[in-house]
Amino acid sequence: MHRLSFALLAASFAASASANTAVYNANVSEAEVLAAQSAWCNALVAINKAGEDQGHAAAKQLAGDVIDAAYGYNLGPVLFKPTLAAPPQTFRTTREGALAYFVGGDPNFKDDSGFALKGWTACRAENAAIHINGDVATSMGNVMITGKDGAVTTVDKTWTFKKSDDGKLRIVVHHSSLPYSAP
Amino acid sequence: MHRLSFALLAASFAASASANTAVYNANVSEAEVLAAQSAWCNALVAINKAGEDQGHAAAKQLAGDVIDAAYGYNLGPVLFKPTLAAPPQTFRTTREGALAYFVGGDPNFKDDSGFALKGWTACRAENAAIHINGDVATSMGNVMITGKDGAVTTVDKTWTFKKSDDGKLRIVVHHSSLPYSAP
Amino acid sequence: MHRLSFALLAASFAASASANTAVYNANVSEAEVLAAQSAWCNALVAINKAGEDQGHAAAKQLAGDVIDAAYGYNLGPVLFKPTLAAPPQTFRTTREGALAYFVGGDPNFKDDSGFALKGWTACRAENAAIHINGDVATSMGNVMITGKDGAVTTVDKTWTFKKSDDGKLRIVVHHSSLPYSAP
Amino acid sequence: MHRLSFALLAASFAASASANTAVYNANVSEAEVLAAQSAWCNALVAINKAGEDQGHAAAKQLAGDVIDAAYGYNLGPVLFKPTLAAPPQTFRTTREGALAYFVGGDPNFKDDSGFALKGWTACRAENAAIHINGDVATSMGNVMITGKDGAVTTVDKTWTFKKSDDGKLRIVVHHSSLPYSAP
């Protein structure tokens, strides 16, 4: 008896999209991940510039806007381990902790001097790999940030972005660390 | 004080994909949904032809292969309401019930005469809308199947496909019904 | 050489939840699906009662509220095939089409006489199977609705609920059909 | 006109699970995350013990088994930044890179001395927060590993686990770093 192959049947058909089909798509694309990374980088530089040009209050205002637009604290706790956050306040699962890290000046986070205010003039991401899974996507790689003197600081960074109901990506996981160097 | 806009910052960056980035993507695309629909249609016609050319055993063998390749009974119960399945065996959550529906001949499903063996010569789907959500995607619309005499039967059909770990789509929900006509 | 088993290692540990861990969970539970089904049933009876007690405008107002709260038209097209909707308006992917189906009176949907206004006094769901996949879950089974005279109408129904960012479930797929009966 | 509230209707119903309903659930639970963390910890200690008791080949064999069972290299690239991995081999997106990190001895990864073979006798995780999203869940927190001399090393660790079709969790993201200490 000849046994027909379902796999061959499937392969013999080409897909053709219907122009009239209404499509809802909750998924994250790679392009959206790259755009969100660029937005984060740009925001970091902008917060620094706001501080230099307009003072700390302006930088704090912008940092708060960035956190509200780009992080998922409105959804719940965010898994945020900033590059320079140290014990016992390593993890910043609340908006307050994130804001303190970026601009400092919060008596509840005394070790925070304001990471975003350290003179950054440029920032870019270079991904090692991206993992896309439904409405969340994770990137891992390096982020290179350039200081006022032109020196480049490289960090190891993992971001998970979640697409909200409004179609916008928000950071729900952010683990950043300085590269290891053998002692 | 001038208030900077994070949204504008985000928009000012164009995304550029890195050639070196390894990407894993678990999501279903619209093209994959359309291809899976075509494969289902083609399989229906092929099962009928196997029955005509080679007899019932060959049709049953192919139908089993199709179910194993195209439905998600390996994952768990499938939410399958076939077009002509009637109470008390309306829902075919097991592989056995699906096979009985397609080719009949199962004493446990005495009302099943073998839907796939009714002389179908062509089949195509026309979608009203598609809902893509991670590794599952649902289509709703009409499926038109052509009988031996050229008459076309139209059914209302909802399919949910889930992408397996192996990257292949499987039907996990299938609700098919004859169009309503006012009495 | 003795080969250690990773599976055994994994099994030898019991999980213990930490009281201090902040948890975000986007997933749908079976209990949430059952509650959403009950809410739909209750809403159907309430719309009918609003029509009887307060007139068509009140019923239409409530039906609109129900659609806005319980369906996902705010997210995008909803895959809605109502029980008694017939060609060429079988699929109601817009809010307007859903509202017309439930309460009638829309000149754009002339065949709609108002399904929710047919004297329903009770409604309950009986599931054949449930498929939970992230923030969406699909149920398939029967829904029994009782008319004014006590007669029970049984329909075959598939619902997919999606959990919104606000934690509430919304219907994004709804395929309802009368049971098949052999001619 | 009295306006009825859909929210109240929804709230007035209690959910009751049906004993006969077949349920498929692809989602990860918090308990599964905790169990997977414990399994990872236990495996680390076991690999060390295999090396001490049976030699490097046994440790390498077990490490390979652990990677195959507990990581998602079978699905695609894994986003793995091990604690002590340094440029230019910081990210271990392939199985080969993970194995080299755990047991060393790979000429392609000359800086790897075998992290799992450093005398670990105990290991436990302490989560700051967990983010559950469909079939993936991410934990962030500290992991404490005890060396031969009783000294405890604490690392900052992010893990994302993905539930495979077979119901088992696999690590698809793993970012580990030494705590930051101000210079």
pLDDT single digits (tens) A22-58 = 999 999 999 999 999 999 999 999 999 999 999 999 9
Mean of the per-residue pLDDT values for chain C?
92
Q: Is 80 exceeded by the pLDDT of residue D5?
A: no
Chains contacting A (3 or more CB pairs within 8 Å): B, C, D
Q: Which of A22, A75, A172 sits opposite C77 (nearest CB)?
A: A22
Helix spans in chain C (H): 6-11, 30-54, 56-70, 95-103
Residue C98 in contact with residue C106, Cβ under 8 Å? no
Q: Is 50 exceeded by the pLDDT of residue C17?
A: no
Task: Name the packing angle between helices D30-54 and D56-70 (round to 10°).
Answer: 170
Contacts of C181 in chain B (CB under 8 A): 86
What does the angle CA D22 – CA B47 – CA B117 come to, to the nearest 5 degrees? 85
Q: What is the pLDDT of residue C29?
A: 97
**In the block, residue with structure tokens 């509220």:** C65
Residue A48 has which token pair?
């620094």
Q: Is 60 exceeded by the pLDDT of residue C151?
A: yes
- pLDDT class for D83, splitting at 50, 70, 90? very high
Q: Do D134 and A129 touch (CB under 8 A)?
A: no
- Closest to C114 measured CA to CA, from C101, C132, C123: C101
Q: What is the pLDDT of residue B84?
A: 97
Partners of D129 in beta bridges: C22, D140
Contacts of D65 in chain C (CB under 8 A): 3-6
Residue C46 in contact with residue D4, Cβ under 8 Å? yes
Mutate: best of A21, A99, A126, A142, partner B, most B CBs <10 A: A21
pLDDT single digits (tens) D40-56 = 999 999 999 999 999 99
pLDDT single digits (tens) D97-145 = 999 999 999 999 999 999 999 999 999 999 999 999 999 999 999 999 9
Q: Do D172 and B24 touch (CB under 8 A)?
A: yes
pTM for the model: 0.93
- Over residues C46-57, the mean pLDDT reads 98
- Over residues C143-168, the mean pLDDT reads 97
Q: How far is D40 from chain C (nearest CA, A)?
A: 8
3-state helix, strand, coil in chain B (%, to 5): 30, 30, 40
Residue D106 in contact with residue D100, Cβ under 8 Å? yes
Q: Do C135 and B136 touch (CB under 8 A)?
A: no
Mean of the per-residue pLDDT values for chain D?
92
Q: Do C69 and D10 touch (CB under 8 A)?
A: yes
Residue D133 has which token pair?
């999203």
ipTM of the complex: 0.92
Chains contacting B (3 or more CB pairs within 8 Å): A, C, D
Q: Is 70 exceeded by the pLDDT of residue B172?
A: yes
Q: How far is CA C71 from CA A97, B34, C27, C29, C81, in A?
A: 36, 25, 18, 18, 13
Which chain A residues touch D if contact means CB-CB below 8 Å?
Answer: 76-81, 83-87, 90-91, 93, 111, 128-131, 133-136, 138-142, 154, 156, 158, 160, 162, 172-173, 175, 177-182
Q: Do B133 and C162 touch (CB under 8 A)?
A: yes
pLDDT single digits (tens) A110-135 = 999 999 999 999 999 999 999 999 99
Q: Is 90 exceeded by the pLDDT of residue B13?
A: no
Q: How far is D20 from chain A (nearest CA, A)?
A: 30
Contacts of D79 in chain A (CB under 8 A): 128-131, 138-140, 158
**In the block, residue with structure tokens 């719309």:** C47
Cα(D174)–Cα(D164) distance, integer angstroms:
17
Q: Which of D12, D42, D57 sits opposite C9 (nearest CB)?
A: D42
- Over residues B72-79, the mean pLDDT reads 98
- Over residues C178-182, the mean pLDDT reads 94
Q: Is 80 exceeded by the pLDDT of residue B26?
A: yes
Q: What is the pLDDT of residue A183?
A: 81
pLDDT single digits (tens) A86-108 = 999 999 999 999 999 999 999 99
Which chain D residues touch A if contact means CB-CB below 8 Å?
Answer: 76-81, 83-87, 90-91, 93, 111, 128-131, 133-136, 138-142, 154, 156, 158, 160, 162, 172-173, 175, 177-182
Cα(C117)–Cα(C48) distance, integer angstroms:
5
Q: Is 50 exceeded by the pLDDT of residue C1?
A: no
Instruction: Cis check for the bond before B88: say yes or no (omega within 30 of 0).
Output: yes
Residue B3 has which token pair?
């208030």
The total of other beta-carbon atoms located within 10 Å of residue A130's CB is 25
Which chain B residues touch D if contact means CB-CB below 8 Å?
Answer: 22-24, 26, 74-77, 93, 134-135, 162, 164-165, 172
Cα(D40)–Cα(D37) distance, integer angstroms:
5
Q: Can you list the positions of beta strands (E) in chain D?
A: 22-25, 79-81, 122-133, 136-146, 152-163, 169-177
Mean of the per-residue pLDDT values for chain B?
92
- Over residues A145-159, the mean pLDDT reads 97
Residue C153 in contact with residue C159, Cβ under 8 Å? no
pLDDT single digits (tens) C87-121 = 999 999 999 999 999 999 999 999 999 999 999 99
- Over residues C79-92, the mean pLDDT reads 98
H/E element, D113: none
What string of DSSP letters covers B73-116? TTTS--EEE-TT--TTS----SHHHHHHHHH---TTSTT---GG
Q: Is 90 exceeded by the pLDDT of residue C14?
A: no
Q: Do B90 and C133 touch (CB under 8 A)?
A: no
Cα(C51)–Cα(B76) distance, integer angstroms:
43
Q: How far is B151 from chain D (nearest CA, A)?
A: 38
Q: What is the pLDDT of residue D2?
A: 43
Q: What is the pLDDT of residue D16?
A: 43
- pLDDT class for D20, splitting at 50, 70, 90? confident
- pLDDT class for C18, splitting at 50, 70, 90? low
What does the angle CA D142 – CA D143 – CA D146 come to, to the nearest 5 degrees? 135
- Closest to B67 measured CA to CA, from B54, B85, B80, B49: B80
Instruction: Cis check for the bond before D88: say yes or no (omega within 30 of 0).
Output: yes
- pLDDT class for A71, splitting at 50, 70, 90? very high
The total of other beta-carbon atoms located within 10 Å of residue D120's CB is 20
Q: Do A34 and B16 touch (CB under 8 A)?
A: yes
Q: Least CA distance to A170: which residue of chain C?
A: C165
Cα(B100)–Cα(B39) distance, integer angstroms:
20
Q: Is 70 exceeded by the pLDDT of residue C123?
A: yes
- Cβ burial C25-42 (10 Å sphere, 16+ → b, else e): bbbbbbebbbbbbbbbbb
Q: How many angstroms from the chain centroid is the CA of residue A178?
A: 17
Q: Do A182 and D91 touch (CB under 8 A)?
A: no
> Which carries the bigger pLDDT value, residue B108 or residue D7?
B108
Task: Name the packing angle between helices A56-70 and A95-103 (round to 10°).
Answer: 140
Q: How far is CA A181 from CA A141, D88, D144, in A?
A: 17, 11, 20
Residue D20 has which token pair?
């006969």
H/E element, A99: helix A95-103
Contacts 24+ apart (CB under 8 A), D22-25: D22/B76, D22/B77, D22/B93, D22/C128, D22/C129, D22/C130, D23/B76, D23/B77, D23/C30, D23/C129, D23/C130, D23/C131, D23/C132, D24/B75, D24/B76, D24/B77, D24/B172, D24/C129, D24/C130, D24/C131, D24/C132, D24/C133, D25/C30, D25/C132
Q: Is 90 exceeded by the pLDDT of residue D19?
A: no
